[in-house]
Structure 1
Amino acid sequence: SPFDASRRRHTSFASVFVYPEQEDVEINISEEDLKIETFRSSGPGGQHMQKNETAVRITHIPTGIVVACQSERSQYQNKLTAMRILKARLYQYYKEKEKEKLSDIEKEKSEIGWGRQIRSYILHPYKLVKDHRTDYEEPNADAVLDGEIDEFIRKFLLSKK
Structure 2
Amino acid sequence: MRERTSLEEQIDGILKLERDLDDALTFIELGEMEDDAASISEGEAGIKAVEIEAARRQVETLLSGEADMLDTYLEIHPGAGGTESQDWAEMLLRMYRRWGERRKLKVETLEYQDGDTAGIKSATLQFKGHNAYGWLKTESGVHRLVRISPFDSNARRQTSFASVWVYPVVDDRIVIEINESDCRIDTYRAQGAGGQHINTTDSAVRITHIPSGIAVSCQQERSQHKNKAKAWDMLRARLYEVELKKREDKANAEQASKTDIGWGHQIRSYVLQPYQLVKDLRTGVSSTAPSEVLDGALDPFLEASLAQRVYGTEVEVEDID
TM-score between both structures, scaled by the size of structure 1: 0.45
Structure with the largest fraction of strand: 2
Rg comparison, structure with higher value: 1
TM-score between both structures, scaled by the size of structure 2: 0.23
